[in-house]
Structure 1
Amino acid sequence: MSFTDKEENQKKDDGLTRESTHDQGQELSQPHHNGIQKPESLLGEAAFVGVICGAQLMTQAGLGQSIAPLHIIGDSFGTRNPGQLSWFAAAYSLTVGTFILIAGRLGDVYGHKKFFIIGFFWYALWSLLAGFSVYSNQIFFDCCRAFQGIGPALLLPNAIAILGRTYVPGRRKAMILSLFGATAPAGFVLGAVFSSIFGQLTWWPWAYWAMGIVCFFLAVAGILVIPRMPLPELDTSVSTYQRLDIPGSVTGVIGLVLLNFAWNQGPVVGWQTPYTYSLLIVSAVFLCVFAFIESRAPHPLLPLSALSSDAAFVLGCVGAGWSSFGIWIYYFWLFLEELRGHSPLLTSAQFAPVAISGLCAALTTGFVITRVRASLVMLFAMTAFTVGGILIATAPVKQVYWAQAFVSIIVMPWGMDMSFPAATIMLSDSMPHEHQGLAASLVNVVVNYSISIGLGLAGTVEGRVNNGGANLLKGYRGAWYMGIGLSGFGILIAFMYEYHTFKKSKKMPSEKPFA
């Protein structure tokens, strides 16, 4: 063999080695197709991931800051009506869940980093205004909460899309997306603790003003630490009107808002009120029009062709589980404050273990997600949602905290932090980079919209069984049983998904868990 032949073989061996390294070490810093290059230093990557995870942290903090000082805020507006108080959380979740899909499309078209930054600035503005609503009335506060929710709607899909474009499928991506999910319970506790401190010791508007200040600094940090992202190559022959699917966006948002409003207003004014069921009918019409438009749009807001049967099963599980979670958290808080007589700050302290349990669940999910079928992960998550609901629904009022209440608080985050990362990773890995915003949007739409819808369903049940407000415990338990039914339905969907996956694996023995 000549020296030249040896040199050629050496080059081939080196090339094969580099290819093997690229296939096995999916953590290289080189940008993949349509992706971005992650920071090269560990400190820079930590800052990058930290700012991105701040989106989820602040989103859940926004939910906690209305639930913890619920009656303090209600008293300042002169209301103790449970239906009116539920709007403090429901108005926020309504817009988070409704506008996420549009936000994901805007990021896909005009840049994820741009709308991530805009989301934090928007969140900061309306957090400040929500605090100033103390000088106005409850309706203005509810409106501020609704507009405040548009900020997380812009943040969440674009945050996940940035991570999806930065990291290739593999263990590192799974772990980082799991950490993103782990910040949810920690964010709720953070929002609850600080809003309770401000509510009890100073003045509740300071919780919202502090939120605005933090969001402003996170927006500035995002500008500095998120790498430059190449804008997508747009087809100049397609108009903005078509590219953003304006007809689908308008009809979809109107339908979702009216449906959500009717479901949450029904328990307040009664389902026999004409405008309540009229809005349900009108929302159904708009959603049907939305489906018709999407089936014929050249660039649909929700391209059904991009979704698989696996995605449908996963999203069904997420919707059932997270609607039960919304019921669990809202009525758990009322249970501890109204029936056990705890202060908002003590209640926040009792919820602190969810941050540790959620982190353990997220790390576990990041480790097993590439080794276990998605159907099994979802089955475990739905079981955790159900067990957590049963534990608190059957807890006596006079029971010690360390019995069922504490165990429920430990168990429930395993439903949250297994279902959310699993769904996010699956959809992110199965969709092309130009649809990363859509993948992130779908999971977050289902999560946040189902929370709001679940509260509406639970409020209806509570109002029917609490004997006109005379029996709070019976009303709370009725709501929890509604949540248990929803998470039980999630278990059924997960079993169907497992059966579907098992049959498919029989036909394709070499199929990977998330293939």
Structure 2
Amino acid sequence: MDSKNNNNKAAIAASTYEIGRSDSDSDNSTVNSSQKIDSSEQVVPTDSEKYFATVRSSESLSVSSQKPQYFSSKLHEWAFIFTCLMGQLLNQAGTTQSMSIMNIIAEDFGSETSKQAWLFASFPLVSGSFILVGGRFGDIYGLKKMLLLGYAILTIWSIICGLTHYTHSDDFFIVAKAFQGLGVSFILPNIIGLVGTIYEPGSMKKNITISFIGAMAPLGATFGGLFSGIVVVKDDKNWPWTFYAFAIVSFLVGVTCYFFVPDNVPTNTNNLKMDWIGSAVGVVGLLLFSFVWNQAPMDGWDKAYIIVLLVISVILIIAFFIYEINYAEVPLLPKAITGNRHIIMILLAIFMGWGTFGIWSFYYFSFSLNLRHFSPVWTGGAYFAFILSGFTIASCVGFLIKIIRPSIILVISITGFTMGNLIFAVTPADQTYWRNTFGMMLLLPLGMDLSFPASSIILSDQLPPEYQGMAGSLVNTMVNYSQSFCLGVATTVEKQINSSGDDLLKGYRAAFYTGVGIGTLGISIASLYMFETFWTDYKEKTKLANDIESSIERTG
């Protein structure tokens, strides 16, 4: 009997030693030992064990990874996935399409140079502010209906963006760009909602689809800037065709959605209601807050209306959270989110990461056009490295998720964003593209391609079943809104450093270092979450091993 107990204890010790290794190995060792536990005791798996168990079980879902009644054929399913990918591509293309030609647009409108930041910021500002509302509309009134509404808005306002050429009003153009973002706010959350509804949780097909949706970010950013540069190669006055062509593509994708997005997706199965008060207060607060940060560098922080709007926006944002937590009947942000520290940490990390990318994006184009004097087509075309690196990374994400914790992938992604700003901050203006610039473009897709699937999976694990559809909406809100807000912060720093516009390089570097600071904060938050999950799993596994040993001793 003693020999048997000693053998059991040795097995337990070996199992405990393996805790620091892969989850799959530790699962096997603890399961073998736990067979001797008294039947009255129940072992509760850790969150990490649940996640990897879900991923492993997904390998057996090749037949049932999606509910078969949604698609009549493989072609039907592939067409649906194509529409999902195009939604993310158009989002990023819409963000960068005016960047490679921003000097041409500014000259055509007679705009001040300081106003160029709005050519970038207005689109993600509005899309980020409305995404949660667009997602809730989809949950209540139908995901497909709101998706089609989003494409209709995007198509109409893309045409109007081109027509502003005849108004000679840069303010009208900026407003039209903002309404383009409104269309995207109804597209992105409902795409993710459809994928989440149609495919089984944890299935390989769902993970790969989400991964390739993320991969469309670098592809869309490349096409947006490159196509705009091509349009103006022969004549700068052709720039409106950038937006007319964008409208045509948006319309065609919308038509494809009409025919290939399934009609029988369940609608409002959780009996949700629209939170009108919370939506209005939250959206207005977010719009005003980012508006102040992007407008103040142009008009100055000493202007009375800037201070008044800043105070109002802060009051509205605070009021939004108070109302959502204490008074809303069906809150836009349920307590499962506002009361979950881990969810808040993940959202903050994503906010910081994509905020640094927003800074990098605007100042990459400014640096290339104003200091290196690249042509618009070469400035946009230089993004080709995004495609090479992006698709390589995206093709691996679906498999990496099986063997690496999402929290680790998230840290890597935020690091990729931050390194892009750090490398650019020390890049000489006269250096060849093929050194620092090419290198950072290979690193940045780490952030773009890894952050979306990693954060979506983590949030999906953290949220209860009735709020699964919110994971994508929350991530997209952070992705889009952060680019507008953080750009405003960086522009404020740049204007204070660039000697009233006489030292552009000094100002641009100050903006890049601002991005490095924001990104470092994001890395710290993501790392804290990662180490906390490691520590929690270690403690739970240690407790499990001790419980097994105690049970064996009692039954021995």
TM score, norm. by length of structure 2? 0.83
Query: 2:130 & 2:88 partners in 1: Cα distance?
Result: 16
Assess, with a 3 A threshold, how the Cα gap between structure 1 residues 433 and 73 changes in structure 2: closer, same or farther.
farther
Question: What SS does structure 1 have at the residue aligned with 2:209?
Answer: helix
Query: 1:449 is matched with which residue?
Result: 481
Once the 2 structures are TM-superposed, how far is the Cα of residue 135 of structure 1 from its aligned partner?
Answer: 1.1
Rounded to whole Å, the distance in 2 between the matches of 1:312 and 1:509 is: 25
> Could you tell which deviates more after superposition, 469-478 or 410-419?
410-419
1:175 aligned residue: 208
- Pairs aligned (count): 482
2:131 alignment counterpart: 100
Q: What pairs up with 1:431-442 in 2 under 5 angstroms?
A: 431=463, 434-442=466-474
1:324-368 deviation line (CA, Å, top 9, x unaligned): 011111101111111111101011121111012112222222211
- One-letter code of the match for 1:335? F
Following TM superposition, by how much is the alpha carbon of 1:476 offset from its aligned partner in structure 2, in angstroms? 0.4
Distance 1:508 1:40 in 2: 46
Cα gap change, 1:429/1:232 in structure 2, threshold over 3 Å: closer, same or farther?
farther
Q: Which residue of 2 aligns with 1:244?
A: 274
> How much does 1:46 deviate?
1.7
Counterparts of 2:294 and 2:363 in 1: how far apart (Å)? 15
Residue deviations 1:462-496, cap 9 Å, x none?
10000010000001000000000011111111221
Q: Does 1:213 align with 2:243?
A: no
Residues in 1 aligned to 2:222 and 2:418: alpha-carbon distance in whole angstroms: 21
Cα displacement string for residues 35-82 of structure 1 (whole angstroms, at most 9, x for unaligned residues): x84435333222110111111000111011111111011111012423
Q: Could you tell me how far 1:447 is from its partner in structure 2? A: 0.7
1:284 and 1:232 map into 2 onto residues whose CA distance is 35
Cα deviation, residue 259, structure 1: 0.3
State which of 262, 284, 300 in structure 2 corresponds to 1:227.
262
Shift of 1:235: 7.7
Name the CA distance, whole Å, in 2 between partners of 1:181 and 1:235. 28
Deviation at 1:26, TM superposition (A): 2.4
Deviations along 1:426-466, one digit per CA (max 9) or x if unpaired, are: 32454456434422110011111100011100100110000
Partner of 1:495: 527
Deviation (angstroms), 1:510: 10
Q: Tell me the equivalent position of 2:227.
A: 194
Structure 2: how far apart are the matches of 1:257 and 1:510? Answer: 48
Change (3 A) 1:24 1:401: closer
Distance 1:493 1:200 in 2: 44
CA distance in structure 2 between the partners assigned to 1:350 and 1:166 by the alignment: 37
Determine the C-alpha separation between the residues in 1 that align with 2:275 and 2:333.
Answer: 9
Indicate yes or no: 2:159 matched with 1:128. Answer: yes
Among 84, 104, 113, the residue aligned to 1:81: 113
Which amino acid letter does the alignment assign opposite residue 244 of structure 2? W
Match of 2:318 among 288, 298, 305: 288
**Given the superposition, is the C-alpha separation of residues 375 and 205 from structure 1 closer, same or farther in structure 2, using an over 3 Å criterion?**
same
Which amino acid in the other structure matches residue 204 of structure 2? R
* Matching residue of 1:13: none
Q: Contact (CA 8 Å) 1:164, 1:428: kept in 2 or not?
A: no
- Equivalent residues of 1:124, 1:215 under 8 A apart: yes
Q: Secondary structure at the match of 1:200?
A: coil
State the one-letter code of the partner of 1:225. F
Letter paired with 1:474:
K
Higher CA-based Rg: 2
CA distance in structure 2 between the partners assigned to 1:28 and 1:103 by the alignment: 32
Distance 1:496 1:433, change over 3 A: closer
Residue in 2 that maps onto 1:11: none
Residue pairs, 1:63-462, within 5 angstroms: 63-82=95-114, 84-136=115-167, 137-168=169-200, 169-202=202-235, 203-233=238-268, 243-295=273-325, 296-306=327-337, 308-431=340-463, 434-462=466-494
2:512 pairs with 1:480 = yes
Aligned partners of 2:226 and 2:377 also within 8 Å? yes
Distance, in Å, in 2 between the alignment partners of 1:145 and 1:510 is 55
Runs of at least 4 residues off by over 4 Å: 21-24, 29-32, 233-236
Contact kept? 2:359, 2:515, Cα under 8 Å? yes
1:245 positional shift: 0.8
Equivalence for 2:88: 56
The code of the aligned residue for 2:324 comes to E
- 1:175-207 superposed Cα distances (whole Å, 9 cap, x missing partner): 110100000110111111111111333400011
- Native 8 Å contact 2:336 2:464 kept in 1: no
Structure 1: segments with no counterpart, 5+ residues: 1-20
2:70, 2:264 within 8 Å by CA — same for their partners in 1?
Answer: no
Identify if the C-alpha distance between structure 1 residues 508 and 363 changes in structure 2 by more than 3 Å, giving closer, same or farther: farther
Maintained 8 Å contact 1:111/1:229? no
**Identical-pair percentage:** 38
Q: Distance in 2 between matches of 1:372 and 1:65?
A: 35
Shift in CA distance, 225/434, structure 1 to aligned 2, threshold 3 Å: farther
Determine the C-alpha separation between the residues in 1 that align with 2:502 and 2:76: 56
Verify the 8 A CA contact 1:29 1:40 in the aligned structure 2: no
Alpha-carbon distance in 1 for matches of 2:269, 2:432: 60
Moved more, 500-509 or 286-295: 500-509
Alignment RMSD (CA, Å)? 2.0
Q: Deviations over 1:394-429 (max 9, x none)?
A: 011111111101001111111111111211233245
Counterparts of 1:510 and 1:173, CA distance in 2: 33
Distance in 1 of aligned mates of 2:368 and 2:542: 50
- Aligned partners of 2:353 and 2:518 also within 8 Å: yes
CA distance in 2, matches of 1:227, 1:510: 47
Rounded to whole Å, the distance in 2 between the matches of 1:398 and 1:278 is 43
Structure 1 residue 266: deviation in Å? 0.8
Q: Secondary structure of the residue that 2:63 maps to in structure 1?
A: coil
1:23: how far off?
6.2
